Amino acid sequence: MNHNKSSIPQLIIASTSTVYGGKYLDYLTKDLIGHFKEVDELLFIPYARPSGLSHEAYTEIARSFFEKINIKVKGIHEFKDPEKAIEKAQGVFTGGGNTFALVKKLYEQDLFSVLRQRIIEGMPYLGTSAGSNITGQTMQTTNDMPIVSVPSYQTLGIFPFNINPHYLDPAPDLLKHMGETRDTRLKEYLHFNDIPVVALREGSYIHTVNEQWLLKGELPARIYFSLDDIREIESGTDLRKLLS
């Protein structure tokens, strides 16, 4: 199958699939319609599946949403050859769950290189939570417990930064929590690493549009450029200008 190798990567990288009080992917619907406008059938990767959900059950959740915008969904586990499934896919959606479980499975099936190549070629990609984590340089800024071992922390490397989804601001007056905050954890990461981190609050997402990496959603993102340079970046900002 021939693909356009000069295309611009098309991604929606979301902190979460469901915002508080909302329904699955609803807050992304308008952008998803445009993002997948040339997609009749979407390939869903359920490998990060939340606890207690089978691949089939998780895929059905995605299928139920996308059928509302006239897009069919097939799970990658339904194919005998998952690499060929990605090679032929019109678009890919990698759902959330546990990033370690997702990365382990992608390495086991040797899918990182083909998925990266298809994204670079311009195949539209949607990631939520763990599916967003893997678009950064490494998965080291995931919030997930290492429930399985992974052969490498290196992931797709589409962006020159890492993602921290579900970012939570410290709330000492509301939570009498004496342990490390998310801010503390990310600063710990920067003591040993020099890859910046884009921390996405719930309802925030990155949408690549016309070679821009637009931050969208109602809330600002917190970007950890380094230990000495941490900034709040407003929605509507082109992150490419800041981080490329």
- Give me the active site residues, please: 129, 144, 166
Contact (Cβ atoms closer than 8 angstroms) between residue 133 and residue 139: yes
Burial of 197 (0-12, 13-18, 19+ CB in 10 A): buried
Please state the φ and ψ torsions of residue 141, each to the nearest 5 degrees: -105, 25
Q: Rounded to the nearest 10 degrees, what angle do helices 99-108 and 112-121 cross at?
A: 100
CA distance 204 to 227: 23
Is 109 exposed, middle or buried, given 0-12, 13-18 or 19+ CB atoms closer than 10 A? middle
Cα–Cα distances in angstroms (integers) from residue 7 to residues 4, 72, 120, 146, 170, in the given order: 6, 24, 7, 35, 40
CA 12/CA 93 separation, integer angstroms? 9
CB 107 within 8 Å of CB 73: no
220 contacts: CB under 8 Å, gap ≥ 6: 201, 204, 232, 233, 234, 235
In whole angstroms, what is the distance from residue 51 CA to residue 145 CA? Answer: 13
